[in-house]
Amino acid sequence: ASGDFTQRVPVQSDDEIGDLACAVNDLTHKLEQALATGARERERLRAVLRSMGDGVIAFDGQLRPQFRNAAAKQLLAKADVQTDDPAAVLGLSISDLQAAGERAFVQPLGDALVHVHVTAIRKRGEVEGYVATLRDVTEQERLQAFRRDFVANVSHELRTPLTSVKTYVEALQEGGYDEPTREKFLRVIAQETDRMVRLTRELLQLSGLESGNIRFAETLVKVDEWLLRAWERFRLTAQAQGVTFQLKCQTNARLRGDPDWLDRLIDNLVSNALKFTASGGRVEIRAEPAGVDSVRVVVADTGMGIPEEDVPHVFERFYRVDKARSRRRGGTGLGLALAREITERHGGTISLTSRLNEGTTVTVVLPLAEEVTV
Ligand code: ADP
């Protein structure tokens, strides 16, 4: 009766007392086993609840908490509330639960979004308590919102040039315009088509990079040659724009990477610098060692700069400081997002600093190729 099951009754006779002693011993053994199984099950259940990623809270019939696992404690702690009562934090009430029997909803807790599912536990028809499971769906919701925004952005970005192409094509079909006007219309059509081609190409590159489907070559790239090629590509554009364009390379280091993608990276940065720098301004590409095993590549301009509040967002897809301004200059809002992906795939980091009306500096730090000494 006191829970010690090691005791046995000595069986001394084979009469009824002896039978009774045997029965008591048998009963003790079975009871011991049943209790051990129960304890094992409880321990197993506790281990499962403890290690579960989802939060679990058990309430009694009055919604008083009886148990909560570590995940539940963690999720509840995210809420900015004074109370320690989980039912209050989750906004549960007995009347709601009695009416519906079970409830499932998404509840913001601090900056997290939590999916809550509450069910009643019944015993012979009577509600004995409730169990709530909590799942952090912040990331899932964020991804869904991101996907919605993304589709909306792409549709919008394609619709704008398509609308103008359609308008000009219709005007040409109607006829009645002189040769110079027709030329102008065709120029706009060509420009807008170019932009759509660029947009779809950049989107494909971005999604390829993000999905990891694109394989990078692992070539040795000499930093000075890489930057000199870029400088050559933009030299004439800068000249035509009246922008001083300089290359200052103080390293003969080598990277291991994909030359085509590295070209795209530097092209995006230099074309932005030129795009947003007016005549009389200066654009500079610099390269210098950064520590013993990295190189710092800087593209700096004295252009129009970016307002402070926009700086943290410029690497986001489709983010443009001034939509009209960027679109007029042929921007897709994907250039810096691509630049970041390419840099990160090469094991590097990219950052941007800017002052409005003073200029912008983008810094890329890339790891150098390990030199093989023979
Ligand atoms: P876009 O194709 O529009 O240039 P990016 O992703 O390359 O898109 O850049 C995002 C936004 O950041 C641009 O629209 C522009 O407003 C701003 N930006 C980028 N580089 C510069 C720069 N060098 N000077 C001023 N603004 C810049």
What is the best residue among 306, 343, 350 to mutate for testing ligand 1's pocket, by most ligand atoms within 8 Å of CB?
A: 306
Q: For residue 357, how far is its CA from the centre of ligand 1 (angstroms)?
A: 14
pLDDT in tens, the chain (374 residues): 787 888 888 888 888 888 998 999 999 999 999 999 999 999 998 899 888 889 999 999 999 999 999 999 999 999 988 888 999 999 998 888 887 778 999 999 999 999 999 999 988 888 899 999 999 999 998 889 888 888 888 898 899 899 999 999 999 999 889 999 999 999 999 999 998 998 999 899 888 888 888 888 899 999 999 999 999 999 999 999 999 999 999 998 999 999 999 999 999 999 999 999 999 999 999 999 999 899 999 999 999 999 999 999 999 988 888 766 666 666 788 999 999 999 999 999 999 999 999 999 999 999 999 765 55
> Residue 145: what pLDDT?
87
Best residue for ligand 1 mutational test, from 276, 282, 358 (most atoms within 8 Å of Cβ)? 276
User: What pLDDT is stored for residue 297 in this prediction?
Assistant: 97
The reported pLDDT for the residue numbered 77 is 92
pLDDT at res. 96: 83
Q: Which pLDDT score is estimated for 330?
A: 66
Say how many C-beta atoms besides its own lie within 10 A of residue 309's C-beta.
Answer: 8
Q: How far is ligand 1, taken at its centre, from the CA of residue 63, in Å?
A: 55
Q: Can you give the pLDDT at residue 326?
A: 65
Measured in angstroms, how far is the CA atom of residue 270 from the centroid of ligand 1?
11
State the distance from the centre of ligand 1 to the C-alpha of 334, rounded, in angstroms. 9
Gyration radius of the chain's alpha carbons: 35
- For residue 327, the model assigns a pLDDT of 65
Q: Please work out whether the CB of residue 304 comes within 6 Å of at least one atom of ligand 1.
A: yes
User: Ligand 1 within 6 A of 303 CB?
Assistant: yes
CB neighbour list of residue 308: distance below 8 Å, 6 or more residues apart: 356
Mutate to test the pocket of ligand 1, among 206, 265, 318, 320 (most ligand atoms within 8 A of CB): 320
Span from the CA of 335 to the centroid of ligand 1 (angstroms): 7
Gap between the Cα atoms of 121 and 60, Å rounded: 9
Cα distance between residue 102 and residue 131, in whole Å? 10
CA–CA gap between residue 301 and residue 357 (Å, rounded): 11
Atom of ligand 1 nearest to the CA of 320: 14
Instruction: Find out whether the beta carbon of 359 lies less than 6 Å from any atom of ligand 1.
Output: no
* pLDDT at residue 7, rounded to an integer: 83
Pairing between β-strand 282-290 and β-strand 244-249 as defined by DSSP bridges: parallel
pTM, full prediction: 0.68
> Using a 6 Å cutoff on CB, does residue 332 contact ligand 1?
yes
pLDDT attached to residue 9: 84
CA of residue 331 to ligand 1 center, whole Å: 8
Query: Can you give the pLDDT at residue 311?
Result: 95
Q: What backbone phi and psi angles, to 5 degrees, belong to 119?
A: -130, 150
Q: What is the C-alpha separation between 231 and 148, in angstroms, rounded?
A: 39
The predicted structure's pLDDT at residue 156: 86
Residue 348 pLDDT: 97
Residue 274: CB within 6 Å of ligand 1?
no
Mutate to test the pocket of ligand 1, among 234, 336, 340, 362 (most ligand atoms within 8 A of CB): 336
Return the residue whose CA atom lies nearest to atom 20 of ligand 1. Answer: 272
Q: Confirm or reject: Cβ of 314 under 6 Å from ligand 1.
A: yes
Per-residue confidence (pLDDT) for residue 99, from 0 to 100: 76
Question: For residue 314, how far is its CA from the centre of ligand 1 (angstroms)?
Answer: 7
